[in-house]
A and B are shown apart, each in its own frame.
Chain A
Amino acid sequence: EAGVVQSPRYKIIEKKQPVAFWCNPISGHNTLYWYRQNLGQGPELLIRYENEEAVDDSQLPKDRFSAERLKGVDSTLKIQPAELGDSAVYLCASSSLGNTEAFFGQGTRLTVV
């Protein structure tokens, strides 16, 4: 069974440029999460979806970040414009509804220069 797939694995952009990350969750998983992991810290939740509905986006900086999960499967996370402080690893995870175990992708390492 394929795990959570994220792309790209690495991205280097100049500040003020836009960037997008893509996530394909495990088949059948209704819940999808985007986390941000700064260097030397634990992941922090940005947004959680139940199917196509964003049920928790309280930690998403909405002035520059946006996310979507069309058809309740794949998801994209966008930053526009990127700032130096956005350099981090962006993790996607998924779980089946009501299940406490979340499965994580390998992440996208973003470097803003």
Chain B
Amino acid sequence: GNSVTQMEGPVTLSEEAFLTINCTYTATGYPSLFWYVQYPGEGLQLLLKATKADDKGSNKGFEATYRKETTSFHLEKGSVQVSDSAVYFCALLAGGTSYGKLTFGQGTILTVHP
């Protein structure tokens, strides 16, 4: 079946540090890949997405590249801010009979200190 594995957290960084959150996936066919973010007290929000191999999704300074050869979609940001503190979820949307079903990783808690 489809699955998503994220690096274990929590991750604690100082402001302006470089961020990487690893995400690998297992899926049949050619899934679309997503990063969702959940700020404290709020619902899940789409951060970025990529729908095919070698696509790069980007938003708010975050980037992730769809790597089919390594089945990965790692999230990166060059300089984090305190306001980036949140829980980050990697997810995939598979096709075929599972079309429409998002499969999420377990989430990574990011805390950024001033």
Cβ-defined partner of A42 (8 Å) among B51, B89, B100, B101: B89
Decide: A106 and B100 in contact? CB cutoff 8 A.
no
A residues near B44, Cβ cutoff 8 Å: 43, 91, 93, 104
B contact patch SS: strand
B79 CB, min distance to chain A CBs, angstroms: 27
B58-93 interface (Cβ within 8 A of A) = 89, 91, 93
Q: CB-CB contacts of B25-43 with A at 8 A, as 1s and 0s?
A: 0000000101010000111
The residue in B43, B45, B89 that gathers the most chain A C-beta atoms within 10 A of its C-beta is: B43
B residues near A88, Cβ cutoff 8 Å: none
Decide: A45 near B45, CB < 8 A? Known: A40-B106, A100-B93: no
A14-69 interface (Cβ within 8 A of B) = 31, 33, 35, 40-45, 48, 50, 55-56
A residues near B4, Cβ cutoff 8 Å: 42
B residues near A56, Cβ cutoff 8 Å: 100-101
CB-based nearest B residue for A92: B43
Decide: A31 and B104 in contact? CB cutoff 8 A.
no
A105 CB, min distance to chain B CBs, angstroms: 5
Cα of A33 to Cα of B44 in the assembled complex, Å: 13
Decide: A44 near B45, CB < 8 A? Known: A100-B51, A100-B93: no
Cβ-defined partner of B104 (8 Å) among A4, A43, A103: A43
In the complex, besides A33-B102, A43-B89, A104-B36, 20 extra interface pairs with C-beta distance below 8 angstroms are A3-B43, A31-B100, A40-B106, A40-B107, A42-B89, A42-B104, A42-B106, A42-B107, A45-B102, A48-B100, A56-B101, A91-B43, A91-B44, A100-B32, A100-B93, A101-B46, A104-B43, A104-B44, A106-B43, A107-B43
Write 15 A-B pairs (CB below 8 A) sorted by A numbering. Answer: A4-B43, A31-B100, A33-B100, A40-B107, A41-B107, A42-B104, A42-B105, A43-B89, A43-B102, A43-B104, A50-B100, A55-B100, A100-B51, A102-B102, A104-B44
